[in-house]
A and B are shown apart, each in its own frame.
Chain A
Amino acid sequence: MNPTDEPHTSTKPVAGGAAATSFNPAQQRALLVVMPHPDDESFACGGTMALCAKAGAPVTFLCGTYGDMGRRMGLPPFANRESLRDIRERELREAAGILGARVHFMGLRDKCVEFEDPQQLAASIRERIAGTAPTTLITFYPGYGVHPDHDALGQAAVLAVRGMAREERPRLLAVAVGEPAALEERLGSPHLETHIASVSELKLEALRAHRSQTAQMFRQWQEGDLDPQMEQMRRRMVEVEEFYELDPDQPTPLERAAA
């Protein structure tokens, strides 16, 4: 199915009278995803990536780390602390192939992104922006990433775009992690959503390619043993990916908290 044939113009009424606009992959010249771990891309926006790639836009994932400090070693375990780095790199390259994306690694140490110089991280993200000329950049919402690496790299992506001339900036979309009702209370409704049903099989295949990290989840899913958190993840995996649009000139929640 050609994803550009899908109706992407519908709007969904949401609480408070706001409406989430549909993300239109056909309007993207290029997409850049900036996230710290192999598998973040598939969970957070694998459907959006696949739709953009199908629509002919180059899709690039700039991955901050190799996920080398992850604790999931597979089920049954086949990785160890020292082999996990290469295993997760291979898994990501396979997943990216499924989604139609290219991968670049920043080579940071997993869990240590927040201790790097944010301006240096921003400069290296800006280089990748210059190389890929994205119309949209997707990252984590700084302050709502839950994982400190998510917050730190999301913040660096905001700084990267803030440092650009306005007319050259990509649109900045952020993924907030957590319980939807709690997020809605703090942030309002998501501004944009991508309907991913037409590419949900690709997204699931990409997630399965991250087998060291997702085998347990898929087993629980198969057994119908879904806690509320996994039920929300299921929605993001097969139905809709939601995003907040950020104004890079406004201080992020992370910056406000530090001030």
Chain B
Amino acid sequence: MQPINTTQLQSELDAREARPVHLHLETTTGSYPMMGPEKRSRVVAFVRNAKIEYERGVITGEGPYRVGLKLDGGWVYADGLTHWVVNEREELLIAGLDKDGQLTVALQLSARPFREE
């Protein structure tokens, strides 16, 4: 993954507009935050391979960045995004990585379902 380039990423969002796409949306503290010095609570959520279609998709912010996808009757939203890549399966992967290389948030779009086995 590379640091986000908003111009390039915006054109990738535009290219996936107004057609069915599979969504992977996730945020995570990791599974062991309660064992760290600050004893934080574990908070994890993900949705994988939900089918959506957005009429408008925008990346904004100064970095870390935000993405909002406007659906017919709803929204997809993510904050804290720092890195992105379009992989060999043409999947658009956007993520937030912290200073230790740990994923904190992910928003991914793909025409085909994300691999699930």
Q: Which residues of A contact B (CB under 8 A)?
A: 69, 71-77, 80-83, 85, 107, 109, 111, 146-148, 178, 215-216, 227, 229
Contact of A71 among B1, B34, B103, B116 (CB under 8 A): B103
B20 CB-CB contact with A under 8 Å:
no
**Is there an interface contact between B116 and A109, defined as CB atoms closer than 8 Å?**
yes
List 16 extra interface pairs beyond A74-B101, A82-B91, CB under 8 A.
A69-B28, A72-B30, A72-B102, A73-B97, A77-B83, A77-B97, A80-B85, A80-B87, A81-B24, A81-B26, A82-B87, A82-B93, A83-B87, A107-B117, A111-B31, A111-B46
**Is there an interface contact between B102 and A229, defined as CB atoms closer than 8 Å?**
no
Give the docked Cα–Cα distance between A71 and B102 (Å): 5
Please name all residues of chain A whose beta carbon is closer than 8 Å to the beta carbon of B30 when the two chains form the complex: 71-72
Interface residues on B, range: 20 to 34
**Is there an interface contact between B1 and A80, defined as CB atoms closer than 8 Å?**
yes
Question: Least Cβ distance of B31 to chain A in Å?
Answer: 5
B100 CB-CB contact with A under 8 Å:
yes
Question: Least Cβ distance of B81 to chain A in Å?
Answer: 13
Please name all residues of chain A whose beta carbon is closer than 8 Å to the beta carbon of B24 when the two chains form the complex: 81
Question: Least Cβ distance of A128 to chain B in Å?
Answer: 19
